[in-house]
Structure 1
Amino acid sequence: MTLPIHVALIGYGMAGKVFHAPLIQAVPGLHLVTIQSSQPAKVRADWPEVWVSATFEEVISPLIDLVVIATPNPTHFELARRALEAGKHVVVDKPFTLNAHQARTLAELAEAQGRVLSVFQNRRWDGDFLTLRKIVEAGTLGEVVYFESHFDRYRPEVQNRWREQAGPGSGIWYDLGPHLADQALLLFGWPEAIFADIGMQRQGAQAPDYFHVLLRYSRLRVVLHASALVPGGSPRFVIHGTQGSLVQYGLDTQEKALKEGLRPGAPGWKPEGSEAWLYRPEQAPEPVFVEAGDYRRYYEGVRDAIRGQGPNPVTPEQAVRLMELLDAAHKSALERREVALEGQV
């Protein structure tokens, strides 16, 4: 019998509570042993069978195989470094680090230690993205020449939480940008150049709450957009090719279900698909079946990678490349110009 992989989760804010803890417990072969949190009562109310750790030293005990880091962005690098040096496999919530230099340092350390290092890019397993990716890879749209990806919200009031306060790694580009940029790189590879407009639009904003980023390829143009001041009306994806277009509306509902306290695979767990339409020249629009997403597939991949039974679902190389793109966008926004990107993936 294959022994379970013992997991420690650091952080029990929104990411740890809503995503990581339920997904880890829903994957056979993973066993959530401990959660390090400054809110032990909150953890015990949700997971009475899980030990609450008070210190990092408890997290890296010999019992633990995998450390999952779901803490504020500025802490990712140091916690991941210490966990890797302790010989643990590591999952880091997005964004991986604060910059590409930190990302490369961790990737090199993981290789030297012979440990699995992965970044939680759950939106790769959104049903709408899985559907879109299959359509693109099947060539249904012909050569893709334009892609627009929106992750808009309506949150007009600035909240008192670290993501919306001034500081390294805060703001919408480091929150939603990693999702949209990661999906774009999976679909189309490394662009030739980037232009980014990142700003603050809400009254009293202290961190960016808006971005509009253009990735330039040879013929293809990719637009990544997010705002906190969109009451409604924006499609999630718009993609145009030489033989057709695809338009998708609505977000994958797995996050909504998780926030409501539903657990993957439990009774009542039936996230709904979004709406999608395929347009072909001189034909009536066709509704497209949007498959169900499944964030558990990420942790199934991590499990298999640790056991040597499959590839890392999000490799350090991919994570470093994404951080290079996030850095380039930040540079573009500061200098208000297009930034050329060198090298190919």
Structure 2
Amino acid sequence: MAPIRIALAGVGLSGQVFQAPMILSLPDLFELHTVIERNPKTPRGVIGDKFNIQPKIARSVEEALQDPEVELLVVGTPTHTHFAIAKAALEAGKHVLVDKPVTATHAEALELGALAKSKNLVLYGFQNRRWDSDYLTLGKVLQSGRLGTVTDFESHFDRYSPALKGTWKDLDHPGNGWTYDLGAHLIDQALQLFGRPEKLTAFLSNIRRVGNPAFTIHLDYPSKEDHPLTVILRGHSLTVRKPQLRYIVRGTKGTFVKYGVDVQEDQLKAGITTQDPQFACEPSDIAATLETLEEDGKIVTSQQLSSERGNYKGLYENLGRAIRNGEPLAVKWDEASQVIELIELARRSSVQGSTLEVPKSQN
């Protein structure tokens, strides 16, 4: 079966670090056929030079979409451009993968979802951190029942970034800010683990007067076995150094604690490929610990866990099989849309200084 020919829109961080390396690591499934670059400085362009390949260079999205050989458009451009680019691709009959946050508004996400469904095309949100090592490890622990009923879930994603970097992410565009950027990952993971909450309370701060550099979002869930669940999601972008607290999860039978973030992003930035034996393998010094309790509350064990291996390729593998073989999507578009819906609720909650009811899902 012929590889899926891809046009890549976005040659910045998303294109260079996350998209191109995954595409090139799966030559049986994908071919990086075209790269969209308006003003390439060399014949091969940024992606071609970095990865020593010779893709076709398109000077515009429109040019790439006119090519009948292109089957899939990967969108890694600034968030406020996602909707228009993805809509044009769907209207041109192309499948689409969109980096997170998938759109700047929930209404835009819903419109794209309806359009893709009407055309029987695959529309996929790049929620790659479902394949983080620590998230996979936590999921395995939760499934084992070793924590009992979860009562408190706290998830952090922080950056040490004491100064603005001068990129498009620092600009006051729709969909910019840490709540949309890092918060999209944390919200998505919470929805996957626990479903839609009943209530949401958020505190967003504009320390730099740009976007939302810090967020704290509380998600409240109904009681389970007389144990209400509170989920706290936190992100900060100024003075948090490594190793940061990533998770602390408390249950009726134990506590899961994790410091340090998944290594795949840093490895990809350093040029380490997915073929490296150490790719996506967490070092033992940031492995999670698990404390389990007896019925009288005494600690029975306190152990360091073996980290599951991360697998960003898993997202692309699922995407390719979904397009070629109709495999169910691991990241459904309505799930990616719900993330934007909750971000909008968080912004409203923070402005109003109030707790908001989360509407029932329409799906």
Query: Which TM-score band applies after superposition, normalised by the shorter structure?
Result: over 0.9
Q: Which deviates more from structure 2 when the two are superposed, residues 77-86 or residues 311-320?
A: 311-320
Moved more, 172-181 or 41-50: 41-50
Equivalent residue number for residue 24 of structure 1: 23
Q: Unaligned stretches of 5+ in structure 2? A: 223-227, 294-298
2:114 corresponds to: 108
1:123 is aligned to 2:129: yes
Partner residue in 2 for 1:221: 230
User: Take 1:284 and 1:253, find their aligned partners in 2: how far apart are those partners?
Assistant: 27
Q: Which residue of 2 aligns with 1:323?
A: 340
Question: Counterpart of 1:141 in structure 2: which amino acid?
Answer: L
Match of 1:97 among 103, 110, 116: 103
**1:295 & 1:233 partners in 2: Cα distance?**
22
Task: Report the Cα distance in structure 1 between the residues aligned to 2:191 and 2:313, rounded to whole angstroms.
Answer: 22
The code of the aligned residue for 1:206 comes to V
1:322, distance to aligned residue in structure 2 (A):
1.6
SS of equivalent residue, structure 2 residue 330: coil
Question: Contact 2:7 / 2:73 at 8 angstroms: preserved in 1?
Answer: yes
After superposition, the CA RMSD in angstroms is 1.5
Instruction: Describe the superposition over 1:185-237 as per-residue Cα deviations: whole angstroms up to 9, x where unpaired.
Output: 00000000111111123xx4422210011001121000000101223464200
Structure 2 contact 10–36 (Cα < 8 Å) conserved: yes
Match of 2:225 in 1: none
* Separation in structure 2 between the aligned mates of residue 225 and residue 122 of structure 1, nearest angstrom: 19
Distance across 2 between alignment mates of 1:167 and 1:323? 15
Unaligned runs of 5+ in 1: none
Counterpart in the other structure of 1:12: 11
Q: Does 1:88 align with 2:94?
A: yes
Per-residue deviation, residues 227-270 of structure 1 (Å, max 9, x unmatched) = 01223464200000111110011111000010011221147645
Quote the residue 1:338 is aligned against: 355
Matched residues in 2 for 1:316 and 1:284: separation? 41
SS of aligned partner of 1:238? strand
SS at match of 2:203: strand
Using a 3 Å threshold, how does the CA distance of structure 1 residues 262 and 233 change in structure 2: closer, same or farther? Answer: closer
Normalised TM-score (structure 2):
0.91
- For the residues of structure 2 that align with 1:316 and 1:270, how far apart are their CA atoms? 26
Distance (whole Å) between structure 1 residues aligned to residue 276 and residue 56 of structure 2 = 23
Helix, strand or coil at the partner of 1:329: helix
User: SS at 2:118's partner residue?
Assistant: helix
Structure 2 CA distance for partners of 1:270 and 1:241, relative to 1, 3 Å? closer
Equivalent-residue separation in structure 2 for 1:114 and 1:69 (angstroms)? 19
TM-score, scaled to structure 1 = 0.95
CA gap of 1:233–1:295, structure 2 versus 1, over 3 A, is closer
Partner of 2:212 in structure 1?
A: 208
**Residue in structure 1 matched with residue 60 of structure 2 by the alignment:** 55
CA contact (8 A) 2:244 2:261 kept: no
3-state SS of paired residue (1:211): strand
Residue number in structure 2 paired with 1:299? 316
1:283 aligned counterpart, secondary structure: strand
Q: How many percent identity over aligned positions?
A: 38
Equivalent position to 1:198, from 204, 217, 239: 204
Question: What letter matches 2:29 in structure 1?
Answer: G
Please give the secondary structure, in 1, of the residue aligned with 2:24: helix
8 Å contact 1:194–1:340 — kept in the other structure? yes
The Cα shift of 1:333 comes to: 1.3
CA separation in 2, counterparts of 1:280 and 1:53? 56
Correspondence for 2:252:
242
